[in-house]
A = this chain, B = another copy of it.
Amino acid sequence: MEHFISLNDIKAPEQLLKKALNYQQHPLADHSLGKHKTLGLLFFNSSLRTRLSMQKAAANLGLNCLVLNVEKDSWQLEFEDGVIMNANKAEHIKEAAAVISQYCDLLGIRAFAQLDSKEKDYAETIINAFKTYASIPIINMESATLHPLQSLADWMTIEDNKPIHRPKIVLSWAPHPRALPQAVANSFLEWGQVMDADIVVTHPKGYELSEQFATNYTIEYDQTKALKDADFVYVKNWSSFKAYGQVLNTSSEWTIDAKKMAITNKGKFMHCLPIRRNVVATDAVLDAPTALCIQQAHNRVPAAQAVLAELLVQQEKQSNASAYNL
């Protein structure tokens, strides 16, 4: 694993999951692995879980951590090539990424979709620019289209709570007052490609997700039908991919409530948080013992830790390999 941007970066997803589950039980197992190494965390957007869980994971590995709110603490960055930089952007990603690579051993980037242009967002302009111009491993802390640290924590949570049979997992769209990115849903389904589960996606027409990340799931436009016999209900809002970035529906008919959960096979409720109570799901659902959101958030630390550890070990191997080549 050279970077951690999408599932494609991971040779053995099952092993990474196992590693994360091991850190869940033994958080201090490798408390010196990161000694004298530095993790940089760059935030272009708000963050609670990702910000804190990455720092906690770093501390568990003995890594030094540098946190930067890019545009508040530092300079606005230019990502386009060949531009005459005479407007409001003071620094080009070429310099910023090269410089930060010298101060850090690993680099996490959070840069949400801007939902203006499908092309720009799905080209992953920002995280790919860091990948291109940085010389250290890049960790996706939610990019325009993917949020793999969340997915790893999500699938850990499913592993911890799964029934004996192959589980049925329903990913249900839910309403939200603002237009949100598709990253969490994309990433969850991408991981679904390699996990042992039957996946059904349910949403109003017009909310079909990109086929770029996964196709091995059934779409069922009738939420009630979809929920039948579900072992897990992963709920999430996203804006339209087709009518890019638009909110086509805000109907509370899609809100997950106790009645809907009753249709499932004693299904567990999942959400990545933050969640709008009584919009995305009702208080009754969120306060029930079947809600796994807090467990999912808990698993963000061991998930991050597994990724950081894996990248550190790879880096060590490469560094030894190049030493032998001298």
Contact = CB atoms under 8 A, between A and B. Distances in A.
A258 interface: no
Copy total for this chain: 3
A103 B69 contact: no
A177 B86 CA distance: 6
Interface in A26-77: 28, 31, 36, 38, 40, 43, 46-49, 51-53, 55-56, 59, 64, 66, 68-69, 72-75
Contacts of A274: 75, 90-92, 95-96
B64 A59 contact: yes
B103 A301 contact: yes
A71 to B, nearest CB: 9
A102 B293 CA distance: 12
Contacts of A243: none
A74 B56 CA distance: 16
Contacts of A95: 273-275, 286, 293-294, 297
Contacts of A103: 52-53, 56, 301
A276 interface: yes
Given A40-B52, A48-B68, A95-B274, A102 B177 contact: no
A293 B96 CA distance: 11
Contacts of A47: 73-74
List 5 tightest A-B contacts by C-beta distance, closest first.
A91-B274, A85-B276, A48-B74, A99-B297, A84-B278
18 contacts: A43-B73, A46-B75, A48-B73, A48-B75, A51-B68, A51-B74, A52-B104, A53-B103, A69-B73, A81-B283, A85-B276, A85-B278, A90-B274, A92-B274, A94-B277, A95-B274, A95-B286, A99-B298
